[in-house]
Amino acid sequence: MGFSRRTRAGERESAEDTGVNPSANATIGDVIAARFARRDLLKGALGVTAIAATAGTMAWLRADPAVAQAASRFAFSELAAGADPDHHVAQGYAADVLIRWGDPVLADAPAFDPRRQSAAAQKMQFGYNNDFLGYFPMPGAANPSRHGLLVVNHEYTNEELMFPGLGRQDLKEVGFAGMTEQLVGVEMAAHGGSVIEVRRGEDRWSVVVDSRYARRIDLDTPMQIDGPAAGHARMRTAADPSGRRVRGMINNCAGGVTPWGTWLTCEENINYYFSGTMAQTAAEFRNHQRLRIPANGYAWGRYHDRFDIGKVPNEANRFGWVVEIDPFDPAAMPRKRTALGRFKHEGAAGIINSDGRYVIFSGDDERFEYVYRFVTRARVDLTNPRANRDILDDGTLAVARYNTDGTLDWLALVHGEGPLTPANGFASQADVVIEARRAADLLGATKMDRPEDIEASTATRKVYVVLTNNNRRTAQQVDAANPRADNNFGHIIEMIPPDGDNAAARYTWNILVRCGDPAVAAVGATFNPQTSRDGWFGMPDNLAFDHQGRLWIATDGNSAGRTGRTDGLWAMETEGAARATSKHFYRVPVGAEMCGPVFTPDDETLFVAVQHPGEAGAAGPDAGAATYENPATRWPDFHPDMPPRPSVVAITRRGGGRIAS
């Protein structure tokens, strides 16, 4: 979710930024400080040869882009970092808009008219704020990298940019005064997901009209609840006495693509959608408080009782899950896989373990929340995709504890083990998964700096965890030995399984890079000195590996005011002498965040999602008070009557060939 949306209404700002984790567990800042004494940091104990604090400003200013070019396996001329109303890609590449908010997904969708938008139209059109992208080659296609399905998450809505004459509604003094039932209906229809069939022609990619696979998923789509929480009393409502059927999914951020051909889409900041009040003595009060429900970010509860926790206290338990969808069957009911736990799931990328079991990693994206892992009980059957249909219902959920000796323990969230007993309010595994955060508190998991995407390299089996930032440590959480007590720009942790066993109970860990401007010594960034002035970034968010095993990093939160650059995509070396060398490849228009990077199997196309272009920046200078009438950019149409539109972009190399090769 966009940085600025997180910090909208003043009353919500402090709670969101400090987090709600009440446990006394160690923070990753404490652990890093204890593991790496400052002296060792300066000697390069983090796996890089030098850091900015020793290199100094002048060394960085002298950094020669030609040197980075020579060291990098990524063959492209680096893009200049900057901030302006358009998007930009490295020289020699084309970046074509594939589909925009409001474009048809279903064949009978009406033409997009932002001044007369309706829920009925939006239900057939491409939704708002595209985030995760997954590519599925079309079975039997002549070239599987030129014909496939693209699945897209629609994470959230910006009413101030979507609706004429409305302005920001979530500010305390506004209180959603302008949000009619009709506008709320459009918002609910603009959430969820899209499945589109895409094809690469002579010239460029296009969406196949009248595709039999085309699908829009929104807040009315019936979904099945599976796994340990299915049917439990805490999952039942008056509208669903079975506790097994829920309408829709919300705030779907990142996700994953399974080896058996399904789309995993992750419910993240669900707390924003709930409002109302609940007695402190109510059964779900403690549970909801641990997820900061309600956070009153939308007016949905005014028109739909299920989003009012005072009226339907259990509805919130039916969100916050990983949802599995078969993209090739538009009639297939999406499944909420409760075995993977309930929290603010950023993503659900996975890897087939050396023994054949599937291992999924998922960050809980809030300050001081945790990193989780799920290992299936069954082995993946690649010869028969249907055999894997329900393997995500049975397995072991675990949470990470990073130790100061460089090891990392995966602590299992299993009912009856350790503190997860009736005495602590866990009567069954259903209670454990519904209250995964509280269970993880009791196990002693390490509190992280907003875990975003986590991706495993199939080449090395190392796992990379993005911690986007944490600028709200309190004085008690600052340690004099920790040069980055105030982690404003984020960092990336590398987790190393023993002998390639991603299901092992104990890993080791290291830091790949601390982000931010290496020219400012106080920032303490640790990019490889061969990184150019365009090559560094702050606030990493999404990760992608190409099919050559190389890491690409998308960001959320850079701006002219904060880092002198918009968000975008950077190519990052992870091994050898060039480790932590980063190169800038693509950047988004002002106000936007970079999401969803995914490569076709031949690495000739890179799809990216440009989310919330024109949104007001966190620090303001990019956009000021961005509205429908006065957005920071009108990308991609640049038409005076058209607002900015979140869009998917297809990046290809001019003249053909693999990207960055």
Toward ligand FEO, which CB reaches closer, 346 or 449?
Answer: 346
Give CA–CA dist 543/189, Å, rounded. 28
* Chain position carrying tokens 């930032």: 469
Toward ligand FEO, which CB reaches closer, 409 or 449?
Answer: 449
Toward ligand FEO, which CB reaches closer, 472 or 547?
Answer: 472
| 229 Cβ neighbours under 8 A, 6+ residues apart | 235, 243, 317, 338, 342, 430, 433, 434
User: Least distance in Å: CB of 48 to Ca ion?
Assistant: 25
CB distance 326 to 224 below 8 Å: no
User: Least distance in Å: CB of 77 to ligand FEO?
Assistant: 30
Considering CB distances under 5 to 8 angstroms, the limit depending on partner class, which of ligand FEO, Ca ion, none binds residue 299?
none
Interacting residues toward Ca ion by CB under 5 A = 253, 541, 556
User: Least distance in Å: CB of 254 to ligand FEO?
Assistant: 7
If one asks whether residue 346 binds ligand FEO (CB under 6 A), the answer comes out as yes
Considering CB distances under 5 to 8 angstroms, the limit depending on partner class, which of Ca ion, ligand FEO, none binds residue 431?
none
User: Least distance in Å: CB of 346 to ligand FEO?
Assistant: 5
Give CA–CA dist 53/69, Å, rounded. 24
CB distance 420 to 516 below 8 Å: no
* Chain position carrying tokens 């509805």: 315
If one asks whether residue 365 binds ligand FEO (CB under 6 A), the answer comes out as yes
Toward ligand FEO, which CB reaches closer, 1 or 99?
Answer: 1
Toward ligand FEO, which CB reaches closer, 268 or 604?
Answer: 268
Considering CB distances under 5 to 8 angstroms, the limit depending on partner class, which of Ca ion, ligand FEO, none binds residue 268?
ligand FEO
Structure tokens at 150: 């693209």
Toward ligand FEO, which CB reaches closer, 155 or 240?
Answer: 155
User: Least distance in Å: CB of 618 to Ca ion?
Assistant: 12
Toward Ca ion, which CB reaches closer, 534 or 541?
Answer: 541
Q: Classify residue 191 by burial, with Cβ atoms within 10 Å: 0-12, 13-18, 19+.
A: buried
Query: Would you give the binding string for ligand FEO spanning residues 381-420, x where CB under 6 A is met?
Result: ----------------------------------------
Give the 3-state DSSP-derived string for 254-281, with helices as H, strands as E and coil as C.
Answer: EEEECCCCCEEEEECCHHHHCECCCCCC
CB distance 214 to 106 below 8 Å: yes
Toward ligand FEO, which CB reaches closer, 27 or 265?
Answer: 265
Toward ligand FEO, which CB reaches closer, 101 or 426?
Answer: 101
Within 10 angstroms of residue 252's Cβ, the number of other Cβ atoms is: 26
Structure tokens at 19: 């987090």
Structure tokens at 134: 């997954």
CB distance 539 to 568 below 8 Å: no
Kindly identify the residues of this chain, within the stretch 246-265, that bind ligand FEO according to CB under 6 A: 253
CB distance 8 to 168 below 8 Å: yes
* Strand stretches in 39-185, DSSP E: 88-89, 93-100, 130-137, 147-154
Toward Ca ion, which CB reaches closer, 46 or 616?
Answer: 616
Before 294, cis peptide (omega within 30)? Answer: yes
If one asks whether residue 594 binds ligand FEO (CB under 6 A), the answer comes out as no
Give CA–CA dist 70/74, Å, rounded. 9
Toward ligand FEO, which CB reaches closer, 1 or 397?
Answer: 1
User: Least distance in Å: CB of 57 to ligand FEO?
Assistant: 32
Structure tokens at 137: 């080659």
Q: How many residues does the chain have?
A: 661
User: Least distance in Å: CB of 561 to ligand FEO?
Assistant: 20
User: Least distance in Å: CB of 503 to Ca ion?
Assistant: 26
Identity (one letter) of the amino acid at 363?
G
User: Least distance in Å: CB of 596 to ligand FEO?
Assistant: 11
If one asks whether residue 160 binds ligand FEO (CB under 6 A), the answer comes out as no
CB distance 270 to 319 below 8 Å: yes
Cα Rg of the chain, angstroms: 23
User: Least distance in Å: CB of 468 to ligand FEO?
Assistant: 7
CB distance 128 to 137 below 8 Å: no
Kindly identify the residues of this chain, within the stretch 529-568, that bind ligand FEO according to CB under 6 A: none
Considering CB distances under 5 to 8 angstroms, the limit depending on partner class, which of ligand FEO, Ca ion, none binds residue 517?
none
| 217 Cβ neighbours under 8 A, 6+ residues apart | 192, 193, 194, 195, 248, 249, 325, 334
CB distance 516 to 67 below 8 Å: no
CB distance 296 to 271 below 8 Å: no
Considering CB distances under 5 to 8 angstroms, the limit depending on partner class, which of ligand FEO, Ca ion, none binds residue 155?
ligand FEO
Q: Classify residue 460 by burial, with Cβ atoms within 10 Å: 0-12, 13-18, 19+.
A: middle
Toward Ca ion, which CB reaches closer, 229 or 623?
Answer: 623
Toward ligand FEO, which CB reaches closer, 365 or 573?
Answer: 365
Which residue number places its CB atom closest to ligand FEO? 253
User: Least distance in Å: CB of 248 to ligand FEO?
Assistant: 17
**Strand, helix or coil for residue 369:** coil
User: Least distance in Å: CB of 227 to ligand FEO?
Assistant: 23
User: Least distance in Å: CB of 256 to ligand FEO?
Assistant: 14
Kindly identify the residues of this chain, within the stretch 58-117, that bind ligand FEO according to CB under 6 A: none
CB distance 235 to 226 below 8 Å: no
Candidates 16, 78, 103, 155: give the one binding ligand FEO (CB under 6 A).
Answer: 155
Candidates 268, 284, 486, 603: give the one binding ligand FEO (CB under 6 A).
Answer: 268
If one asks whether residue 452 binds ligand FEO (CB under 6 A), the answer comes out as yes
User: Least distance in Å: CB of 253 to ligand FEO?
Assistant: 3
The H or E element containing residue 362 is: strand 357-363
Toward ligand FEO, which CB reaches closer, 343 or 527?
Answer: 343
* Chain position carrying tokens 């979530």: 170
Q: Classify residue 39 by burial, with Cβ atoms within 10 Å: 0-12, 13-18, 19+.
A: exposed
Q: Which residues bind ligand FEO (CB under 6 A)?
A: 1, 155, 253, 268, 346, 365, 452
